[in-house]
Chain A
Amino acid sequence: MQDNLSSGRIRKAPENFLSRDGIQTVVAEAKQGRRNFIRNAFAAAAAGAAGTSVLAQGNPVPSEGGDPNILNLPEHSTGLGQGVAADGGYGKPSRFEANVQRRQSPGLTQTTQASVSFAPLQSLFGIITPSGLHFERHHQGWWDIDPSKHRLMVNGMVKAAKVFTMDEIMRLPSVSRIHFIECGANTAVEWGNVAVPTVQYTHGMVSCSEFTGVPLITLLELAGADLKKGKFVLAEGADGSSMTRTIPMELITSGEVIVAYGQNGEMLRPEQGYPLRLVVPGVQGVSWVKYLRRIEVGDMPYAAKDEAVHYIDLQPSGLHRQYTSIQECKSVVTTPSGGQVLLDKGFYNISGLAWSGRGKVKHVDVSVDGGRNWRRARLESPVATKALTRFNLDWVWDGKPAIIQSRATDETGYVQPTYKQLRAVRGTRSIYHNNAIQSWLVQESGEVKNVQVS
């Protein structure tokens, strides 16, 4: 420990927790070989803070009278930097951001082609997910398809089956809208108990982008679709799995469903269905068919594999709910969250994401005592319909254990349920559509744990 203290210039801890008096106490007591010196020093620091209203400093003045990062000018202040387009014409994140990656959850799947990578929600700001960090879900591997050879067909109960090239689709009037996409199985592993450590793995199958494309209704009208008798629409992908899902007509006629080619100002990423995917706002990700090649109008639902074998929700009765689609109102605190460590007592900005498949988020409440008492969080703008909404709340951590939760209410008045409420209706084997309130335990040590409370 003495070694740690003597090299404190690099190793900031544990001085971070302590006032200067506290540090001296630590040094003195360490010399005396007291085993519990940290605890005592911590108490001394806390007492000092209480007495002077000055909290422990996370960035203490080093003994040489100033921070070497200030006193010794670094190379980037004294040399010539790099030129334009030095990165091959497409910029990349800083090399210091290498920890911010989408990741597979170990042991979840046996292949990478029918698998998931989770978005690092703990490291993201605002509501837009960077396209390269957008969660991935593939059923039979992803492809990078030549857009000049990609076609979209509209057939079924239409006056004339139609074929469109990408050139033609991109000629049509376009809309750009911000929407979340959440996998129906997001948070699935947590139905029964805590199973994974961080928000990346508990909630990382949600992302949010600005999508650009053509309302599907425009293409249906071009084909002369019979929307009186044709109450169901099938969407089909061009990849090996040729994913199919029955798409709700209500969201098509409302103009909400988009045949999208754009994502966050550029074309869709190949992992997200380049060059064409369906955007079905508020509905689970599996319906947002990627590599979209065909739309069929019909008069009955299709019972595709992913609506008759998977993406069906088992209820305690033994019945499966079929055609569950809407992602109900949900929220999660992303910082502080599981697997993180609070570096100090004092001020923190509790920050998180809320969303609802039924419209806008109306408000988000945050508890730091496991759901006994709640405070209303600030919603950052924009608050868009069926989009991620960022919330923030001021918090001063007193160093004692705290259980942080968030609870979202949407514009229909629906309030995000507790685990107890959700399990009372759906049991624990539903797999899909877990939108329960998440709990993070901040321990005295500063480390945050994923927990469920009773």
Chain B
Amino acid sequence: MSRFLNAVLMAALLAAAGVAQAQSTKYPGVGRNATPKEVAAWDIDVRPDFKGLPAGSGSVAKGQDVWEGKCAHCHGIFGESGEVFSPLVGGTTAEDIKTGRVAKLTDPSFPGRTTLMKVSTVSTLWDYINRAMPWNAPKSLSTDEVYAVTAFLLNLGGIVPDNYVLSDKNIREVQARMPNRNGMTTEHAMWPGPEFSKVRKPDTSNVACMKDCTPEPKVASFLPDYARNAHGNLAEQNRMVGPQHGADTTKPEPKGPGAAAAAATVAAAVPAKEQAKPAAAKPAAGGADNKATLALLSKYSCTACHAMDKKLVGPSFVDIAKKHAGKADYLAGKIKSGGSGVWGPIPMPAQSLSEAEAKTIAAWLAAGAGK
């Protein structure tokens, strides 16, 4: 026992000496040792070898409950939705689980790439869900909920069965079934240093030819006419003076020598007050109040699911305003509690904003959702 105590004491002394050494460098007085509690609070990363993975477990069934409450409104009931973010699930097969290579990645005609088609390491899913999900309340899931949601996601991809309980004990088995686990390569010259690959030569090798280098070039790709104004009026995206002005893309493209220049100089002669319009938003009636409300919508990530005048995951603000005009109290309650069924099956989760803030947004909606 006394030998044990001695050993502990000795270890403590050694640690203290080590610490002292670390501190007595060129910069005395700068920085202090982190406490174990502090390190535990922040050191949340989980590596591909599962270093950092906390003990715990979660079933597919529990994961489905969490999913439908906190994940489905962005990612879809089956992780298939591409309305807000890229789809998570789809494009993988039982054969891929055997080979560890997702076959559809070699098919250029397959639309899009889902998370499960790409990710090679299950640790990545666990780590990311734990640190950054849900989107508007990151780090709010318990450890077991993270296991459960990960299990549900894997189940959607057919990687684990319906009755699976994912845990720190069996997660290695899952790694061995990841559909794209053999789908990565580090054989390239785009990492500085020798850690991954000996390849140092870039994969293209152009030469700086100066004269008669190519045959007559042909234009192979350009924007179609109908996309002319798709990025807004380019005349308003260029400085009003300069060697070139912006093209007025609200009008069809002028043809013939010098024709665009004529149009552009006309555009440039529009008074500066008019030019400045895109920067200074026109305040509508009650503009200041609306601005504060719009800030709230952004602050609480309402805009992640609701757009002003088109349907995203949820209905547009304008549509809500039409349907529930004047019903501020009802709307305030709905904002706080969430719900589903009024606009479709995708639920809106309860929101953690203050009563006063909910009322502000509700009043704005009830009054017509003005900009």
Contact residue among B29, B51, B230, B256 (Cβ-Cβ distance under 8 Å from A445): B256
A372 in contact (CB, < 8 A): yes
- Residues of A within 8 Å of B231, CB to CB, are 105-106, 196-198, 201
Knowing A162-B31, A222-B27, A452-B221, the reply to whether A123 touches B210 (Cβ < 8 A) is no
Question: How near does chain A come to B260, taking the closest CB pair, in angstroms?
Answer: 4
Q: Identify which of residues 41-56 in chain B touch chain A, using a CB-to-CB cut-off of 8 Å.
A: 42-45, 47-49, 51
Q: Contact at A372–B217, with CB atoms within 8 Å? A: yes
Question: How near does chain B come to A226, taking the closest CB pair, in angstroms?
Answer: 12
Contact with A along B176-201 (1 / 0, CB 8 A): 00001001111111111111100000
Bound together, the chains give a CA A447 to CA B255 distance in angstroms of 9
Interface centre among A100, A111, A195 (most CB of B within 10 A): A111
Q: Contact at A159–B21, with CB atoms within 8 Å? A: yes
Q: Identify which of residues 306-325 in chain A touch chain B, using a CB-to-CB cut-off of 8 Å.
A: 308-309, 312, 314-325
Number of residues from A at the complex interface, CB < 8 A: 151
A129 in contact (CB, < 8 A): no
A291 in contact (CB, < 8 A): no
Q: Other than the known A162-B31, A319-B183, what 12 A-B pairs have Cβ atoms closer than 8 Å?
A: A16-B258, A16-B262, A171-B29, A197-B223, A197-B231, A303-B47, A321-B185, A335-B244, A427-B108, A445-B260, A446-B257, A449-B222
Contact with A along B318-340 (1 / 0, CB 8 A): 00000000000000000000000
Q: Contact at B221–A371, with CB atoms within 8 Å? A: no
Q: Contact at A343–B304, with CB atoms within 8 Å? A: no
- Residues of A within 8 Å of B298, CB to CB, are 112
Contact residue among A100, A172, A335, A344 (Cβ-Cβ distance under 8 Å from B30): A172
A227 in contact (CB, < 8 A): no
A97 in contact (CB, < 8 A): yes
Knowing A240-B132, A335-B244, the reply to whether A300 touches B102 (Cβ < 8 A) is no
Please report whether the interface of chain B is mostly helix, strand, loop or mixed according to DSSP.
loop
B245 in contact (CB, < 8 A): yes
Q: Contact at B275–A241, with CB atoms within 8 Å? A: no
Question: How near does chain B come to A361, taking the closest CB pair, in angstroms?
Answer: 12
Q: Contact at B30–A318, with CB atoms within 8 Å? A: no
Q: Contact at A123–B238, with CB atoms within 8 Å? A: yes
Q: Contact at B42–A293, with CB atoms within 8 Å? A: yes
Contact residue among A16, A240, A372, A453 (Cβ-Cβ distance under 8 Å from B261): A16
Question: How near does chain A come to B14, taking the closest CB pair, in angstroms?
Answer: 11
Question: How near does chain B come to A378, taking the closest CB pair, in angstroms?
Answer: 16
B1 in contact (CB, < 8 A): no
Q: Contact at B212–A372, with CB atoms within 8 Å? A: yes
Beta-carbon nearest neighbor of A375 in chain B: B210
B75 in contact (CB, < 8 A): no
Bound together, the chains give a CA A403 to CA B221 distance in angstroms of 13
Contact residue among A336, A371, A428 (Cβ-Cβ distance under 8 Å from B214): A371
Beta-carbon nearest neighbor of B118 in chain A: A309
Q: Which of B142-150, B263-271, B362-370 contacts A (4 or more CB under 8 A)?
A: B263-271
Bound together, the chains give a CA A155 to CA B51 distance in angstroms of 14
Contact residue among B19, B124, B205, B217 (Cβ-Cβ distance under 8 Å from A308): B124
Q: Contact at A429–B32, with CB atoms within 8 Å? A: no
Q: Which of A81-89, A246-254, A261-269 contacts B (4 or more CB under 8 A)?
A: A246-254
Q: Contact at A326–B132, with CB atoms within 8 Å? A: no
Q: Contact at B32–A162, with CB atoms within 8 Å? A: yes
- Residues of A within 8 Å of B25, CB to CB, are 221-222
Question: How near does chain B come to A407, taking the closest CB pair, in angstroms?
Answer: 7
Q: Identify which of residues 83-141 in chain B touch chain A, using a CB-to-CB cut-off of 8 Å.
A: 83-85, 101-103, 105-106, 108, 113, 115, 118-121, 123-124, 127-128, 131-132, 135, 138-139
Q: Contact at A99–B30, with CB atoms within 8 Å? A: no
- Residues of A within 8 Å of B33, CB to CB, are 160-163
A409 in contact (CB, < 8 A): yes
B276 in contact (CB, < 8 A): yes
Contact residue among A16, A111, A153, A318 (Cβ-Cβ distance under 8 Å from B304): A111
Knowing A168-B30, A301-B195, A372-B217, the reply to whether A426 touches B138 (Cβ < 8 A) is no
Q: Contact at B22–A160, with CB atoms within 8 Å? A: yes
Bound together, the chains give a CA A145 to CA B127 distance in angstroms of 24
A175 in contact (CB, < 8 A): no
Bound together, the chains give a CA A255 to CA B190 distance in angstroms of 19
- Residues of B within 8 Å of A101, CB to CB, are 237, 278-279
Bound together, the chains give a CA A162 to CA B23 distance in angstroms of 10
5 closest Cβ contacts across the A-B interface? A370-B217, A250-B193, A13-B262, A447-B260, A340-B244
Contact residue among A12, A283, A318 (Cβ-Cβ distance under 8 Å from B269): A12
- Residues of A within 8 Å of B172, CB to CB, are none
Name 20 A/B residue pairs within 8 A (Cβ), A-sorted. A13-B258, A13-B263, A14-B261, A16-B258, A17-B257, A96-B275, A194-B222, A231-B195, A304-B45, A308-B120, A309-B119, A318-B103, A365-B210, A373-B210, A373-B211, A439-B217, A445-B259, A450-B222, A453-B218, A453-B219
Q: Contact at A309–B124, with CB atoms within 8 Å? A: yes
Q: Contact at B190–A106, with CB atoms within 8 Å? A: no
Beta-carbon nearest neighbor of A376 in chain B: B210
Beta-carbon nearest neighbor of A45 in chain B: B258
B285 in contact (CB, < 8 A): no
Q: Contact at A153–B38, with CB atoms within 8 Å? A: yes
- Residues of A within 8 Å of B206, CB to CB, are 407, 415-418, 421
Bound together, the chains give a CA A285 to CA B227 distance in angstroms of 30
Q: Contact at B39–A197, with CB atoms within 8 Å? A: no
- Residues of A within 8 Å of B261, CB to CB, are 13-14, 16-17, 341-344, 445-446
B342 in contact (CB, < 8 A): no
Beta-carbon nearest neighbor of B187 in chain A: A321
Bound together, the chains give a CA A359 to CA B285 distance in angstroms of 55
- Residues of A within 8 Å of B138, CB to CB, are 140, 240-242
Contact residue among A222, A323, A450 (Cβ-Cβ distance under 8 Å from B196): A323
B249 in contact (CB, < 8 A): yes
- Residues of B within 8 Å of A218, CB to CB, are 27
Q: Contact at B34–A162, with CB atoms within 8 Å? A: yes
- Residues of B within 8 Å of A139, CB to CB, are 132
Beta-carbon nearest neighbor of B307 in chain A: A110
Q: Contact at B121–A303, with CB atoms within 8 Å? A: yes
Contact residue among B135, B185, B236, B303 (Cβ-Cβ distance under 8 Å from A99): B236
B60 in contact (CB, < 8 A): no
Q: Contact at A250–B214, with CB atoms within 8 Å? A: no
B356 in contact (CB, < 8 A): no
Interface centre among B127, B215, B223, B261 (most CB of A within 10 A): B261
Contact with B along A277-298 (1 / 0, CB 8 A): 0000011000000000110101
Beta-carbon nearest neighbor of B299 in chain A: A141
Bound together, the chains give a CA A302 to CA B279 distance in angstroms of 42
Interface centre among A100, A249, A343, A428 (most CB of B within 10 A): A343
Q: Contact at A441–B237, with CB atoms within 8 Å? A: no
Q: Contact at A308–B256, with CB atoms within 8 Å? A: no
Question: How near does chain A come to B23, taking the closest CB pair, in angstroms?
Answer: 8
Q: Contact at A198–B234, with CB atoms within 8 Å? A: yes
- Residues of A within 8 Å of B303, CB to CB, are 111-113
B173 in contact (CB, < 8 A): no
